[in-house]
Chains A and B, each alone.
Chain A
Amino acid sequence: MSDMDMDDGSGVVKKFMFLNRKAPHGTVYALEGLEVVLITAAFDQDVSLVFTDDGVYQLMKGMDTKGIEVKDFSKTYRALEGYDIEKLYVDSTSLKARGLTEEDLIVDVTVLSDDEMKNLMAEQDVVISF
């Protein structure tokens, strides 16, 4: 790749990982992280969305947020495909530690082992954590 291409920035596709580690609703991180992911989709980058630790709770089926009067943004995860964000990964260790399985999640994901997680993380150009 020439220096011109780098300066210009057009056509450069980087590998972006968004690492979601927080439960929804209790803090604003999950919702804000999702907003940033949607913005990034407009720039045609190679985006991976990863859920680990309490972040796996963001994908729980059957949320009913009426009682706490906040937006239920969990359905937005199902719309990500329409923004060409199709790489959704969930950390197996985090799921198991919370008594959850893939069937409890609102979207289709790829469940990764610790080794698969660390390799995926190592190959990224940019990792942004929420």
Chain B
Amino acid sequence: MLHIVNKSATERSTLDSCLRLATKGSAVLLIEDAVYAATKGSAAAAKIQAAQADLKIYALGPDLAARGMAGRVLDGVNVVDYGGFVDLVAEHSNCQSWL
């Protein structure tokens, strides 16, 4: 399963719900305002780091760059471009967009 989260973790609870309910080995792609969670010093950084034990975490590069956050990504988070986004969708048999 590929989980896609697009809302800020300091405004909505979607990231928390996603991390709570994603099965081991799943992938989580952070896009739009959700990318802040994957940056150093953010309130959600510890949650992302803890989740990396069981989940593969990705963040969309263009969304990080647009927010001035490209240089602040947490270690172990994989930054992908739009092509990588497409690859992730194609590689997984199903995906869930947390709205």
Contacts and interface: CB of A to CB of B under 8 A. Distances in A.
Contact of B41 (A60, A62, A72, A98): A98
A17 B75 CA distance: 39
Interface size class of chain B, counting residues whose CB lies under 8 Å from the partner chain = 20 to 34
A24 B11 contact: no
A70 B67 CA distance: 11
Nearest to B6: A26
Interface in B28-81: 32-33, 36, 39-43, 45, 61-63, 65-72, 81
A60 B39 CA distance: 13
Contacts of B36: 23, 54, 57, 98
A64 B65 contact: yes
Contact of B66 (A63, A97, A99, A100): A63
B67 A57 contact: yes
A118 to B, nearest CB: 20
Contacts of B65: 63-67
A63 B70 CA distance: 9
A87 interface: no
A98 to B, nearest CB: 5
Contacts of A66: 62, 65
Nearest to A67: B62
Interface of B: 6-8, 10-11, 32-33, 36, 39-43, 45, 61-63, 65-72, 81
Interface of A: 22-27, 53-54, 57, 60-68, 70, 72, 74, 97-100, 104
14 contacts: A23-B33, A53-B11, A54-B33, A64-B70, A66-B62, A67-B62, A67-B65, A67-B66, A68-B66, A74-B68, A98-B41, A98-B42, A99-B41, A104-B68
